[in-house]
Amino acid sequence: MIPDRFEAPLSPTEEAQRRLMRIFGAPLTVSVPASVQAPVPAAPQNQSPLPGPIQGSVEEDPVALLQASHAAAQQSQVKTEEQIAAEQAWYGSEKVWLVHKDGFSLATVVKTEAGSLPEGKVKIKLEHDGTLLEVDEDDIEKANPPSYNRSEDLASLLYLNESSVMNCLRQRYGGNLNHTYAGPNMVVINPLSTPSMYSEKVMHMFKGCRREDSAPHVYSVAQSAYRNLLTTRQDQSIVLLGKSGSGKTTNCQHLVQYLVSIAGSTGKIFSAEKWQAVYTILEAFGNSSTSMNTNASRFSHVVSLDFDQAGQVASASIQTMLLEKLRVSKRPEAESTFNVFYYMMAGADSSLRTELHFNHLAQNSAFGILPQSKPEDKQRASQQFTKLQAAMKVLGISGEEQKALWLILGAVYHLGAAGATKDGDEAGRRQFARHEWAQKAAYLLGCTLEELSSSIFKHQAKGMQHSTSFRGKADDGGQGDNSVCEDQFIEAHLYRGALKSSQHSLCSLLIVDTPGFQNPRIAQQQRGATFEELCHNYTQERLQTLFHERTFVQEMERYKEENIELALDDIESSTSLSVAAIDQASTQALVRTLARTDEARGLLWLMEEEAVQPGGTEETMLERLFSYYGSAQGENKGASLLLRGEKPHLFLLGHSHGTDWVEYNAQGWLSHAKHNPAAQNAAALLQDSQKKNISGLFMGRASGATVLSGSIAGLEGSSQLALRRATSMRKTFTTGVAAVKKKSLCIQVKLQVDALIDMVRRSRVHFVHCLLPRAEAVGGGGEPRVTHGESPDSDLMTLDVGLLRAQLRGSKLLDALRIYRQGYPDHMVFSEFRRRFDVLAPHLTKKHGRHYIVTDEKRAVEELLESLDLEKSSHHMGLSRVSAVASHTPFIRHKRTKHSLTLLLSSDLLYTLYPL
């Protein structure tokens, strides 16, 4: 907590006690304002207004809001007689939720005589209007008392069901409490606003606190991961999951900001200011406006923070992958290219504009890169360009290096203005449609027009077919033209220097942020999803599969190994089948062959096969895909996650366990699997540039040839941990299937995701589920409505219950909560448990001696647990470790902390550390 600046001086003993409490993370008691009361549950409807935030001074101070909410949750465990009587009356009235298509409504079960209702029916009375209804028993769920409306942890709900979870999230969201614990995981609903909930004052509130002693917040996740890293010396990962526009990138930024600010860095070389500069550059070169989000990340990245023995940041690196380089030249209608182009066109000063030939911009572009028309948009973009230049300066990127980047981006713009002819010349090659613009591009790149034309068009054969998809037209420019421009942008995107290097790192903390689930229909777009959107959805599916693996598979395996028997019949633990439909490999994956086989394989492998097959088309590719994963004749279509679309080239894939059906348009997809020689020319063109600032910047770099490219920043002379991660990533691309398929662009998508999952799987993972509150917040390609302050409009605070329900079902959060509540999630090997907690049983140490050798660790732990007088049902003694229920370990840790404080405060050591 932040001490009062006018606080009276403390005595030496009081000061010592405060320091010790800060070290051990003991919670500080907080008085609860009288205004903090649990609201009476309303009758939530689809997109109904939410209960208002806590009133008074608490509303203006986010620290007070979090403290009051947390204190209220702690005090709710100790009830007065009136509260107990009220809850008993609640239970006696049998309150339930009526689940319907528009949401859920509070009702009371009406008692009827036996046999008066048909079997399976129940009579209820709606609370909001008194209507009497006869409904199916399956359509009602038990409701929790009002004291649970704003529970901090969904696992603590008395009745754990879908409606109760949504009601709790809704009540908290209406009170500006966007974060909620879900057992070991975190749920964050995007507030669609910029509140002061992420200030430096709030950061210090969580510093040093244990999870059970702090309110739900993304800072609590960062603090928990940081504490685990220091205590266990094990690598940690924080993985953000959710739909596009749900706030994953924003939360990633807050996580890194907290860790860098709280932990500090060796020599203060990597600071919060530098991270903000890094984020500014990533946002400019990797974000764009889409139908789902006006500032959507179009690449995946992993932020790696390496910590030294003192717990400070010793080095940092950023791994980027799956960048949509095709967005430079082709993209869905009403979507934009990368932000940096608009920033540069609006913000370049007169000197730079003259050098880039931007004084007279083209009226049209084959790439659709046009200056913004609205004055307010131009002003905002100009300000962002100034911010981008300042960020580059903070990271040590010189003026000449910056100019090289602007020259390359300017050349890409002029190539779009140059366009290409529809037909080839006598030699069968296409050529620029407007040579004056091509000449400008050649000048900026430091090459001749002939060299530029040759690098783009020399591989274009006469009569070469061009894929025509909704993203662009065949006469918008040649495929080679696009490829060179895209790779020039990639080369500019990949340039980033090391953030900080050190050879003395102990452990690493990784933060994974990928584009969220994409579905054009949510944004009311009547188009099929693109191949790039499929790749992003596939990445999210793989991360969801990792969540399933850690939450269900590994837990059940541990219970089996430790002879723990649990009745978990109501939990569905099946993984999503859509992953196999995308990436399943055949047993012949290492053999390159033109022969088609009947062995099932995923879409990415079918694309690679059909691309080299004579006469291969998207139609034959889809027919093979349906034969492997579609519903068989006479089979129920509901059992399949792959369906045919109403038009050719269209197919539907059920993501998130069939809760999010996305229609894809596969027209032109085989071009992603075909190797285009023109794409290799971009790096050579830049390396051979006559302009030294360009050639020197990219000398020795290989061209990024993948359809969704990636790079590693911060590896030059970096720490051993970062180099180990880089070696692991490169090994993925140089062994096994990767060695054979290294030329296959679509297969490299799978390989990059494999490398990402492998890197995260080696660590302890903390999951943050980001939820989108309503589709209209980002729909129709419009800009999300943003408010500044702590009191968002009631329209902004509206929840789409149907969308929220679909996200909860797709994430399998309720099943994860059930296995967390019914099982023994906390576990520790016998020797570690005894070492950490034998201080609570000093009589055992006295009995055996301080340095006694334990011959039977299991028996020693049993004696320790017996001395603590714990309920036997709260823990289970396995073969190699002790497992405990969710609330057991924090209780023991609290006793250990309290005991340690008592010993320290009563010893002479106190006066040695803090002399009077």
Judge contact between 44 and 796, C-beta under 8 A: no
Burial zone of 433 (CB within 10 Å; 0-12 exposed, 13-18 middle, 19+ buried): middle
Radius of gyration of the chain (CA): 30
The SS3 of residue 452 is helix
Residue type, 648: P
- In DSSP terms, 317 is beta-bridged to 304
Cα 788 to the chain's mean position, in Å?
A: 24
C-alpha–C-alpha distance, residues 552 and 121, integer Å? 34
List the one residue out of 725, 736, 729 whose CA is nearest residue 754.
729
List the one residue out of 816, 786, 815, 802 whose CA is nearest residue 190.
786
Residue 123, both tokens: 């009579």
Pairing of strands 103-109, 95-100: antiparallel
C-alpha–C-alpha distance, residues 877 and 861, integer Å? 9
End-to-end CA distance of the chain: 25
Binding-site residues from annotation for ATP:
242-249
Longest alpha-carbon distance in the chain: 98
Residue type, 477: G
DSSP-assigned letter for residue 288? E
C-alpha–C-alpha distance, residues 144 and 163, integer Å? 10
Q: How many CA atoms lie within 13 A of 460 on its CB side?
A: 29
C-alpha–C-alpha distance, residues 787 and 793, integer Å? 8
Judge contact between 209 and 217, C-beta under 8 A: no
Tokens 């981006």 found at: 409
Cα dihedral 367, 371, 373, 375, rounded to 10, equals 150
Residue 353, both tokens: 């504009």
CA distances for 502 relative to 313, 315, 354, 719, 721, angstroms: 10, 6, 42, 5, 9
Q: What angle do CA 855, 860, 866 make, to 5 degrees?
A: 165
Burial zone of 666 (CB within 10 Å; 0-12 exposed, 13-18 middle, 19+ buried): buried
DSSP-assigned letter for residue 553? I
Tokens 């289970």 found at: 876
DSSP-assigned letter for residue 592? -
List the one residue out of 662, 657, 654 whose CA is nearest residue 518.
662
- In DSSP terms, 652 is beta-bridged to 643, 663
DSSP-assigned letter for residue 708? E
User: b/e for 273-310, b at 16 or more Cβ within 10 A?
Assistant: ebbbbbbbbbbbbbbbbbbbbbebbbbbbbbbbbbbee
Binding-site residues from annotation:
242-249
C-alpha–C-alpha distance, residues 336 and 357, integer Å? 22
Residue 696, both tokens: 């020197």
Judge contact between 273 and 394, C-beta under 8 A: yes
The edge-to-edge listing of strands for the beta sheet with 642-644 is 642-644, 650-654, 660-665
Residue 92, both tokens: 């006696």
The H or E element containing residue 643 is strand 642-644
Cβ-Cβ contacts under 8 Å for 308 (sequence gap 6 or more): 266, 314, 502, 504, 505, 506
